Chain A
Amino acid sequence: MLLWTRRSKVLLWLVFGVVFAVVVAAPLVMIVLASFAGHWTGVLPGGPTFGHYADALSGETFASLSVSIQTGVLAGTAAVLLGTWAALAAETAPRRVRHVADTLFHLPIAVPSVVLGLALLVAFSRPPLAFNGTRWIVLLGHLLILLPFAYSTVTAALARVDPQLAQAAPPPRG
C-alpha cells in the first residue's frame, strides 16, 4: 500500500529479512541448535543428539522441571481465581472505589520483581508470618507477579460482555 514499485518493495523486504534474521530468528535458532548439540568445537554445534532431552526428563533436572511446573500451575491457578474474584467485585463497586481497586491490583506490575523479592524476604523472615525458606514464599511471589495479568485480562473481558447478560440471570432475593 505504501510502496508501489516492485524494486522498492524487494529492497525493503531484503532489509526486513536481514534485520529479522539477526534480531529475532538467530537467537531462537541458536537455542534449538544448542539443545541438540552433541559437541560444540567448531563454529556450529555438531553430532546431533537427543541426549540432553533424555537428561532433562530424568534425575535432578527433571525434579527442577517438575518444581517449575508445579509452581506455575499452583501460582497461576491461584492468580486466576483471585484476579477473577477481584475483577468481578470491582465491576460492581462504585466508580471511585473501582478506580482505586484498579490501581491497587495493577501495582505489583509496577514494582520491580527484585524489590518484591526483597520485600517478601524482609517481611516474612520474622514473626508473625515467618515462612521464609519454605515453598510458600516462592509461590506467594509468583502469585503477586501474576495477579495483575489475571486481573486486567478478566477486567478487559468483562468490559466486552453485554450488560444484558447479567439481567438475564434470575434476580437475587433478600
Chain B
Amino acid sequence: MSVAPAVVSEKQRSNPVSHSRRGLVWLLPPLVVVAVFFGYPLVLVAGQSLTTDTGFGLGVWAEVLGSAEFRDAAGQTVLLALGATAGCVLLGTFLALVIAFVPFPGARTLSRLVDTVLAFPSFLIALAFTFLYGSAGVFGAGGFLYSPWGVLLAEITFYTPFVMRPALAAFGQVPGVHLDVAASLGARPWRVLGRVVLPAALPSLASGACLTLLLALNEFGIVLFLGAKGVTTLPMLVYGKGIVTFDFPAASVVALVDVAISLLLYGSYRVLAGRGRGAAVDAA
C-alpha cells in the first residue's frame, strides 16, 4: 500500500482530463434513473402541496401547519423517536459493553443473534409484541401495548441492534492494555468506563444514535401494525391523508415537512459517521 499513492498520482498526471470525463459520462445513466424516478416524483409532491382550490398558493400549507392534528402528530413523532433513541443507546451500549468487556462463553453468538434482528421487517416485532403483550397475549398487560408506551418499547426492541453493532465495533478497537493500565493505576470500573472506553466510542455511538433517530422518526410498520390508540406519527398522517382520504395536497405538505426533518438528521448522521469512520454501521 505504501507505493500506491505514487502510482495513482502518476496515473492522474498522465491522463487527467479524459480520465475524469470518462467518469462523468458513465455517471450519467444512474443519475438519470435517480432524477426521473426519485427527483421528479418529489418535485411533483412539492407542486402538489402548492395546489389549492383556486390555483397556486400557500393555502394548504397554512391550513395543515395550523391544524392541531398536524402539531400533535409532529410532537408525538419527535417525542417517540427521541425516547426510542435514548432507550436504544442505553440498552445497546449496555449489551455491547458486557459482550465486549465482560465476555462469557457464547457472547459472540448472542451478538450475532442480535444482528439477525437487523434483517427482520419491523412489523415482525410488532407481531411478536401482540403475542407477548396483546390483550390475549402471554403477559396481557391491560392495554399497555396499544398505548404510546407499547409503540416505544417495540421501537426500542427493533432499533437496539442499530446502536449495539457500531458500539461493539468501537469497543473492539479500544486496546485492552489501556483498560489494564487504568485499572492497575487504581481506577474503579465506572471511572475506566467514563474516562477511557466511552470517549473512544463516542463518535460511533453518536452516529448509531443519529441513524436510530432517523429511522424511528420514519417508522411506519410498527405504528400501523400496533394501531395504538391516539398514536399518530407523521408517516401515519401522510398515509392517512394520501392513501385513505386521497387528500394529496395535505399529504404532500406533511410529507415535505417529514422529508425536511429527515434530511437534517441524515446530514448530521453523515457528518458523525464520517468522524467515527470504520466503526459506523455500514449502511445499516
A residues with a Cβ closer than 8 A to B are 1-4, 8-9, 12-13, 16, 19-20, 23-28, 30-31, 33-34, 40, 43-44, 82-83, 85-86, 88-94, 97, 101, 104-116, 118-124, 140, 143-144, 147-149, 152-153, 156, 162-164, 167
Point out the residues of chain A lying under 8 angstroms from B258, CB to CB.
112, 114-115
CA distance A28 to B34 in the complex (A): 37
Point out the residues of chain B lying under 8 angstroms from A108, CB to CB.
34, 38
Closest to A141 in B: B37
Question: In the complex, which of the residues A2, A30, A83, A104 contacts B128, with contact meaning CB atoms closer than 8 Å?
Answer: A30
Q: B45 and A115: CB pair below 8 A? A: yes
Tell me if B's interface is mostly helix, strand, loop or mixed: helix
Q: A2 and B41: CB pair below 8 A? A: no
Give the Cβ gap from B191 to chain A, nearest Cβ, in Å.
10
Q: B45 and A118: CB pair below 8 A? A: yes
Q: A167 and B7: CB pair below 8 A? A: yes
Point out the residues of chain A lying under 8 angstroms from B255, CB to CB.
112, 114-115, 118-119
Give the Cβ gap from A8 to chain B, nearest Cβ, in Å.
8
> With contacts A13-B98, A24-B113, A31-B128 known, is A85 near B26, CB below 8 A?
yes
Question: In the complex, which of the residues B3, B41, B179, B235 contacts A123, with contact meaning CB atoms closer than 8 Å?
Answer: B41
Q: A27 and B129: CB pair below 8 A? A: yes
Closest to B156 in A: A23
Q: Mark B251-278, 1 if CB is under 8 A from A, else 0.
A: 1100100110011011000100000000
> With contacts A19-B95, A94-B20 known, is A111 near B42, CB below 8 A?
yes
Question: In the complex, which of the residues A20, A83, A122 contacts B95, with contact meaning CB atoms closer than 8 Å?
Answer: A20
Closest to A93 in B: B23
B residues with a Cβ closer than 8 A to A are 1, 3-4, 7-8, 11, 19-20, 22-24, 26-27, 29-31, 33-34, 37-38, 40-42, 44-45, 48, 91, 94-95, 97-98, 101-102, 104, 110, 113-114, 117, 124-125, 127-129, 131-132, 136, 138, 156-157, 160, 176, 179-180, 183, 189, 192-193, 197, 214, 217-218, 220, 234-235, 238-239, 242-243, 248, 251-252, 255, 258-259, 262-263, 265-266, 270, 282-284
Q: A28 and B282: CB pair below 8 A? A: no
Point out the residues of chain B lying under 8 angstroms from A25, CB to CB.
113
Q: A144 and B37: CB pair below 8 A? A: yes
Closest to B180 in A: A1
Point out the residues of chain A lying under 8 angstroms from B242, CB to CB.
118, 121
Give the Cβ gap from B198 to chain A, nearest Cβ, in Å.
12
Beyond A83-B30, A122-B45, 14 extra complex contacts between A and B, CB < 8 Å: A1-B183, A2-B183, A8-B189, A19-B95, A27-B129, A27-B132, A93-B23, A104-B34, A106-B266, A111-B42, A116-B41, A152-B283, A162-B1, A164-B3
Q: B27 and A110: CB pair below 8 A? A: no
CA distance A132 to B239 in the complex (A): 17
15 A/B residue pairs, CB under 8 Å, sorted by A: A3-B102, A13-B102, A23-B160, A24-B114, A91-B23, A97-B23, A107-B34, A109-B283, A110-B262, A113-B218, A118-B255, A122-B248, A144-B34, A149-B283, A162-B1
CA distance A115 to B253 in the complex (A): 10
Point out the residues of chain B lying under 8 angstroms from A106, CB to CB.
266, 270
Q: A110 and B20: CB pair below 8 A? A: no
Closest to B263 in A: A110
Point out the residues of chain A lying under 8 angstroms from B29, CB to CB.
85
Point out the residues of chain A lying under 8 angstroms from B19, CB to CB.
92
Give the Cβ gap from A74 to chain B, nearest Cβ, in Å.
15
Closest to B178 in A: A1
